[in-house]
Amino acid sequence: MVPATLLIIFVLLYLTFQRFDEALLIMATLPFALVGGFWLLFLLNHNVSVASVVGFIALAGVSAEFGVIMLLYLRHAWDARLASGQPPSFDLLNDAIREGAVLRVRPKAMTVAVIISGLLPIMFGTGTGSEVMQRIAAPMVGGMVTAPLLSMFVIPAAYLLMRRPRVVRTGTRARFFNRVALKGGSR
């Protein structure tokens, strides 16, 4: 189930961004986002079970959503800077990334707070079926610590590395390839 879920997420990301490198960036961040879920399962002394795998699948979806929205804001800020007519530069790209990332802080904090406050009663509840529900909720709660931090710090840094201006050599051909790389074209 997990490989099929990851394949579906990757295909949807590729269809959304129309770029292999951006879809791969989001997919590369998923294992790191799941680390918090594994740590919480370990701390609670839960074994990995079918229920916890369901929690990890849900966490992968939320983490991918965090990354997609962050990447969309970064792309929008960068495209707006390029559309303003300013010449592409590292400083311009850096400012656009800061602008796009800052716009996501409050919504991401609110989303994480709602998810955690909704899942904590399930994690600490007692009664019929609570053992299964705790194993579904635990990966989500643990992942809500690492996934937002990852999307707030790692994705903007990786985007900066992917889109930074590259000076290959001087001349008309080098200016053309640098302009293509800055606009997000193929390399």
**Domain limits, the chain:** 28-182
> What are the pLDDT digits (tens) for 13-23?
899 888 888 88
In this prediction, residue 187 carries a pLDDT of 43
CB atoms within 10 A of CB 78: 23
The DSSP call for residue 37 is H
Q: What is the mean pLDDT of residues 51-63?
A: 88
Question: 43-71 b/e with 16+ CB inside 10 Å = b?
Answer: eeebeeeebbbbbbbbbbebbbebbbbbb
pLDDT of residue 144 exceeding 50, the answer is yes
Q: What tokens does 185 get?
A: 């074209």
Reply yes or no on domain 28-182 having CATH 3.40.50.1370: no
The pLDDT, as a whole number, for residue 175 is 57
Q: Based on the number of CB atoms within 10 Å of its own CB, is 36 exposed (0-12), middle (13-18) or buried (19 or more)? A: buried
* Res 185 pLDDT > 80: no
